[in-house]
Amino acid sequence: MNKEQAFFNDQVIATVKNVKKHNVGEGANYMLRNAIAKYSLANDNYSTTQFTLNQMKEKGLDITKRGQKSRKNEYTFEHPIPAKVLFDLILKAKNDEEITSLLKFSDQVVILSHSEDKILNEAGLKKTMPKDWKYGDDVFARYKKVNISILTEKVKMTGAIKR
């Protein structure tokens, strides 16, 4: 966990307490999902696929720069465990340590081409994990289910967090 992630870890813990205390609905839940997503986006290294690397190289794009991500550049930053799934797990956590453990477990981001992202969408896996998945299982289960192969070597990221 780097310094920025430590900040988001604390923010998630504080926001969970406020969400439970005030129970005000979607606005607060959105804030929590956003903080959860930003925790992993603050990671210094992201995963990707060979297809995405090749496609971005052909376009002359440097995917190590977070600021390059845009619709027109045809790639996205994907959370292997969708923020909504992690949100539900975190709300059930019994204490701060369990929340931190969940964040660390899911601390992954995948740089994914729009065409690969579309495969996830079409399989109904955009915002959910496979039906048989449970906490502790492979974080990349959605990708394996649709035969998207994640490289083991990660990409060192630079620049401000971009969601």
The 10s digit of each residue's pLDDT in 40-54 is 999 999 999 999 999
Helix (H), strand (E), coil (C) string for 31-58: HHHHHHHHHHHCCCEEEECHHHHHHHHH
pLDDT of 100: 98
Which residue ranges in the chain fall short of pLDDT 70?
A: none
Residue 109, pLDDT score: 97
Residue 37 near residue 136 (C-beta atoms within 8 A):
no
pLDDT of residue 95: 97
pLDDT at residue 60 in the model: 93
CB 67 within 8 A of CB 118: no
Q: What are the distances in angstroms from CA 28 to CA 20, 31, 42, 62, 93?
A: 10, 5, 21, 35, 17
Structure tokens at 6: 């430590």
pLDDT value at position 28? Answer: 85
* Contact call for residues 50 and 149 (beta carbons, < 8 A): yes
* Percent of the chain residues past pLDDT 70, beyond the cut: 100
Looking at 23-129, list the stretches that DSSP marks H as alpha helix, in order from N- to C-terminal side.
26-41, 50-58, 83-91, 96-105, 114-122
DSSP-derived letter for residue 95 is S
Helix (H, G, I), strand (E, B) or coil at 156: strand
The predicted structure's pLDDT at residue 116: 96
Report phi then psi at 147, rounded to 5.
60, 40
